[in-house]
Structure 1
Amino acid sequence: MLDYTKTSPDADGCAARMSLDEVRAYMSDHYHEALSIDLLAQLAGLSPNYFGEAFKKATGRSVMDYLTGLRIGRAKQLIRETDLYMREIARSVGYSDEYYFSRKFKKEVGLSPSAFGRSARNRIAVLSASSIGYLLPLGIVPTAAPLDPKRTPYYHYYYQSEIRVHLESPDSGKDEDNIRSLTAAKPDAVIIQESCGAAMAEWLAASGIELIRVEAEDWRGQLWQIAKALGKTASADRWIRDYESSAAKARANIREAVGQDTFLTLHLSGDQLYLYVNRGIRDVLYRDLELAAIPKLRELCNEPLSIEELAAFDPDRLLLLVSPDAVTHLRWQSLQHDAGWLSLKAVQHGCVYQLQPSPWFEYSAVAVSRMLEETVLLLTGGNPMLGGTDDASRPQPESAPRSARRLPCGW
């Protein structure tokens, strides 16, 4: 932590000036004190007017709005985590007047402090689209989430009007835009499954928003961890139980349809074909459905594969993921006329199944459920709605668009 109690002279004998980042850090440490624009501008060695303009340009908020956000954020933490009286909370975050604090809190949060205490965790935001697939089984639609018609077509199609604030993807480099959107959304908690940028991490640390970090490795553990944090463990247990029941029925139906046929899962990206297994494919196809495959496919795998090596395996059935870009599309078109490809048993028997990125590149409770249903449809032609899942809690309607299709022989 920076030591703000001292200043050191620079080369000209003047007191060292703080950068804007250092001033923001100073505000985070001293939010409970009487801070003025004049004082903060003096720390930065700028005039109050110029400092105010520079601060707003850097943060998207005025100096006093930023300070209010720090104070109200800390107040939210204290309301959630302590039994302090409201006047004690007000004073601890820099407000001597409890009623003025209450008015500022309601303006920022949309609820009075007491109402917030009764309804905390009603508004949940997520930073990655896959997190949506953990909230829906719990009967929760996030108030803010990344949505894109191309990258997240399923959630965008069915939930774009229900998810009030649409965020940018975590890898878009638009942290500042997302911070502004989250500030407007006023979430009670944010679910974090992956690392976030420095600006977002700093804002979250200062906002007072509850952070729910997901650290479990498999989707069942992740669902249960989120459910426990939100008081929804009964819903998670029910979803997992229903999934297990559906998987058992699917396993029996598929075994009857395909017998001991061997499977291989592939990913075509650019000019390269890969022997491919991600977490969803591993869990659904090779663990829950117990499809016959080489041992390597029972764990995560992403190994380059030539047509000659594929021909040596010569599986009965192929499941193929094709990356959605122009270079890969051209390679896929040429591959379908390749003599080695056409000689494969699976191609000759019309047992090549092309899978689309959604849901097969996603890992969540909703995604694996969709993978299970689509696999049954692909391999048996039966109704993918297997029963055993409570329709009231099911996040997708029967008319959901199919993200997988079977290719005719020779494709």
Structure 2
Amino acid sequence: MRTTETAHTDNGSNVMGHMQKTDLLEIKAFMERHYNEQLTIGQLADMANISPKYFVDLFKRRFGQSAMGFLTDVRIMHAKRLLTESDARLRDIAQKVGYRDEFYFSRKFKKEVGLSPSDFAKDSKRSIAVCSSSTIGHLLALQLIPEAAPLDPKWSPYYYNLYSDKIKTHLLLTDPYHKFTFEINLDKLCLARPDVIIASDQLQMRESSKLNGIAPVHNVSSKAGWREQLMGIARFLNKEELALQWIDHYEKNAQAGRAQAAQQLGDDRVMALRIYQTQLFVYQNRGLEEVLYDDLHLKTACERGLHGHSPISMDELRELNPERILLAVCPEASSRKYWLSLQHSPEWRQLQAVRNGHVHPITADPWFEYSSVAIARMLEEALLLFTGNCPNTFQDYGYGESFAT
């Protein structure tokens, strides 16, 4: 493996940027796999076949943080998992994540997390119940998994597949997914005996009153943005520092994503559509609009909020004629049948997005949800669809476990 300085041609073009990026990513991946070993700058620089000083500068320039800072993030991430999921001694946890001295590990952990390892372990074992699946997405951003939460394999597959075995009490999804109120969950929630409850201001008054009789309740404001919602929950749970880290991490990814999207899309206009039964709809919701148009600064093919979820005819769509289409097809048989027939219609095939192969499929999960994790997933998915690049280094670990990039 060799990382060399970036070479430039006479016209200033970068001819070795790809090699530099690939080699550094290999070293970064090595650090992720061998975080429990005594890695040094000298060792990593030798792997890259460059001087330690140049390696330090190159790593910081490429990834926005120092190599040792990145290694610390990886180690702390694994330490948090061990503190949360095991009863191992502090000395053993320190050694498992690469620290020989448990006292140094404790000081380092408190500096990075804001809590001592013992306080973090105690705090993470607090029993939390949530009243909506979207609130799971906020808790994961705070590195917490609720004890009780609404889960459904169809409507919240991400949370169901990754966390159903860790969430002990499965509640039922209610409105808008199913036509019954949250009151159906109250008996089961009472038996779960949570320490605190994260609810919504959309609950009925009698439901809120009963929740307050079970445990202290924090109501998430449905009118607040996801950042404000996250910070409100964080203040209630004394996790403000983690919330700020998550938001900062997201903003950096969004900033990098804007540059990538601008380079790839140029002036292309984007439009999101939804097929339900035998009709096309303009698919606009809060999270989708914020990610695409506020955070990535993409150009919209129609005025925001103009159509909402109103039907759109093929004539109207042909007149707008967006360069890029995001398409959500509802899973019902009638919707799939309509989509199959639509693909072969001349009107559809004449759209420039269709002709250029720029129709990108999306699903309700995460594009229907509004939470910290859902927004981050939308950002990643949008960048993957439009540019082929994804900002999240730790995709395999799931959310809420690291902010390292």
Q: TM-score range by the shorter chain?
A: 0.5 to 0.7
CA distance in 2, matches of 1:120, 1:373: 27
CA distance in 2, matches of 1:332, 1:302: 17
Contact (CA 8 Å) 1:170, 1:196: kept in 2 or not? no
- Deviation of residue 197 (structure 1)? 5.0
Letter in 2 for 1:307: M
Q: What secondary structure does 2:334 align onto?
A: helix
- Deviation of residue 266 (structure 1)? 1.1
Letter in 2 for 1:213: N
State the partner residue of 1:395: 400
2:210 aligned with 1:210: no
Higher alpha-carbon deviation: 359-368 or 298-307: 298-307
CA pair 225-174 structure 1, distance change in 2 beyond 3 A: closer
Contact (CA 8 Å) 2:142, 2:400: kept in 1 or not? no
2:317 aligned with 1:310: yes
Q: What secondary structure does 1:305 align onto?
A: coil
- Deviation of residue 155 (structure 1)? 0.2
State the partner residue of 2:171: 167
Letter in 2 for 1:349: N
Deviations 1:343-386 (A, max 9, x none): 1011011100010110001110000100011111111112x134
State the partner residue of 2:150: 146
Contact (CA 8 Å) 1:274, 1:303: kept in 2 or not? yes
2:244 aligned with 1:240: no
Q: How high is the TM-score relative to the length of structure 2?
A: 0.64
4+ long deviations beyond 6 Å: 118-121, 389-393
2:141 aligned with 1:137: yes
Aligned residues: 277
CA pair 354-143 structure 1, distance change in 2 beyond 3 A: same
CA distance in 1, matches of 2:306, 2:312: 17
- Deviation of residue 122 (structure 1)? 1.7
CA distance in 2, matches of 1:134, 1:321: 24
Contact (CA 8 Å) 1:317, 1:346: kept in 2 or not? yes
CA pair 386-160 structure 1, distance change in 2 beyond 3 A: closer
Deviations 1:183-240 (A, max 9, x none): 2211121111253356633422433x11101115211111111111111111111100
2:330 aligned with 1:323: yes
- Deviation of residue 391 (structure 1)? 9.4
Is the radius of gyration larger for structure 1 or structure 2?
1
State the partner residue of 2:391: 385
Deviations 1:159-204 (A, max 9, x none): 0111110001123437565222212211121111253356633422
Higher alpha-carbon deviation: 293-302 or 176-185: 293-302
Q: What secondary structure does 1:192 align onto?
A: strand
Letter in 1 for 2:349: L
CA pair 184-379 structure 1, distance change in 2 beyond 3 A: same
Q: How high is the TM-score relative to the length of structure 1?
A: 0.63
Deviations 1:253-288 (A, max 9, x none): 111112111111112122221122101111100110
Equivalent residues in 2 for 1:265-280, closer than 5 Å: 265-280=272-287
Letter in 2 for 1:325: E
Equivalent residues in 2 for 1:358-377, closer than 5 Å: 358-377=365-384
Equivalent residues in 2 for 1:337-348, closer than 5 Å: 337-348=344-355
Q: What secondary structure does 1:324 align onto?
A: coil
Letter in 2 for 1:136: L
2:192 aligned with 1:185: yes
Q: What secondary structure does 2:165 align onto?
A: coil
Deviations 1:281-315 (A, max 9, x none): 11100110011114613778323210010000111
Task: Return the match for 1:293 from 300, 314, 330.
Answer: 300
CA distance in 2, matches of 1:227, 1:250: 26
State the partner residue of 1:157: 161
Letter in 2 for 1:385: P
CA distance in 2, matches of 1:213, 1:299: 30
CA distance in 2, matches of 1:142, 1:300: 37
CA distance in 2, matches of 1:330, 1:365: 34
Task: Return the match for 1:223 from 199, 221, 230.
Answer: 230
Q: What secondary structure does 1:162 align onto?
A: coil
CA distance in 1, matches of 2:359, 2:348: 11
Contact (CA 8 Å) 2:287, 2:370: kept in 1 or not? yes
Q: What secondary structure does 2:337 align onto?
A: helix
CA pair 372-253 structure 1, distance change in 2 beyond 3 A: same
Q: What secondary structure does 2:137 align onto?
A: helix
Contact (CA 8 Å) 1:137, 1:393: kept in 2 or not? no
Q: What secondary structure does 2:274 align onto?
A: strand
Contact (CA 8 Å) 2:144, 2:400: kept in 1 or not? no
CA distance in 1, matches of 2:335, 2:200: 29
Percent identity between matched residues is 38
Q: Which runs of no fewer than 5 residues in structure 2 stay unpaired?
A: 1-121
Letter in 1 for 2:303: K
CA distance in 2, matches of 1:157, 1:361: 18
CA distance in 1, matches of 2:155, 2:375: 17
Letter in 2 for 1:133: G
CA distance in 2, matches of 1:393, 1:314: 37
Contact (CA 8 Å) 1:137, 1:394: kept in 2 or not? yes
Task: Return the match for 2:263 from 242, 250, 256.
Answer: 256
2:128 aligned with 1:124: yes
